Amino acid sequence: MSLPTPASNEIPDIVISRLPIYLRTLRLLHGQGAVVTSSQELGQLLGISSAQIRKDLSHFGEFGKQGTGYNVGYLCNQLEKILKVDCLWPVILIGAGYLGHALASYSGFEHRGFRIVAVFDNDAAKLGNLIGNVEVQSIEAMAAVIDHYRCQIAIIAAPATSAQRVADEAVSAGIKSILCYAPITLTAPPHVRVEYIDPVIHFQHMTFYLDQGCIDDL
């Protein structure tokens, strides 16, 4: 029997951010044939304390018993329901450059609950090209496609100079969540959630901890 999910505003966002990491690790264990795991084992695999894992999961109910651990398959299923990835979410992709091409060609999204159903670009030379099984369409077609698929999620892989404009158009058409690869901070209404992936930011975070050893002139 599935457990009731608390209202999202009752749970700290940092807890929600760790759930996909738990799910990824549990799927890995399941693929290796594991039937049971424990907070101690998960903690060792993830570098997170077992107490933190138990506390995070306790926000959603009791999933295991002391001394017996967690059933891997069952906990996978419950986390999928909590994260609402026990179904397939349609996703649009804006930007058909090198990054957009790589994202649209990536086969790892679908078995995790997401399918890129449309790709858009404003470069006439790219329109009509196939990326995987998806044809690149004009930005002008975006609103109709979002409505057709009842799509709520967009990936923006457009240049920073156009990212805000296409984000505004996507939100006006009904998009509620944006994963932004453009190196810019978007302005969005309060009801729209924006997440960012910028490799340079992560590089700069890492280099702070490195010994001085960069090369001035490669």
Rounded mean pLDDT for each run of 10 residues along the chain, 218 residues in total: 54 95 96 95 96 94 80 95 96 96 93 95 96 94 97 97 97 98 96 96 92 71
Predicted pLDDT at 7: 55
Can you give the pLDDT at residue 145?
97
Looking at the DSSP assignment, which residues form a beta bridge with residue 210?
none
State the pLDDT at residue 83.
Answer: 96
Which strands form 64-65's sheet, in the order they lie side by side?
Answer: 36-37, 69-71, 64-65
Neighbours of 19 (CB within 10 A): 18
Residue 169 is predicted with a pLDDT of 97
- pLDDT score, position 132: 82
Q: Residue 215: its pLDDT value, please?
A: 73
| Of 185, 188, 162, 159, nearest in space to 175 by CA | 188
Residue 204: strand, helix, or coil: helix
Q: What is the pLDDT of residue 188?
A: 97
Distances (CA, A) of 154 to 28, 51, 65, 74, 192: 27, 35, 39, 30, 11
Q: Which pTM value belongs to this model?
A: 0.88
Domain 8-82, CATH: 1.10.10.10
Q: Please say whether the beta carbons of 116 and 89 come within 8 A.
A: no
Q: Where in the chain is the domain with CATH 3.40.50.720?
A: 89-202
Rounded to whole angstroms, the Cα distance separating 94 from 5 reads 32
Specify the pLDDT at position 24.
Answer: 96
Domain boundaries for CATH 1.10.10.10 within the chain: 8-82
CA nearest neighbour of 157 among 125, 182, 139? 182
Does domain 89-202 sit in CATH 3.40.50.720?
yes
pLDDT at 1: 41
Assigned token pair, 49? 């304390």
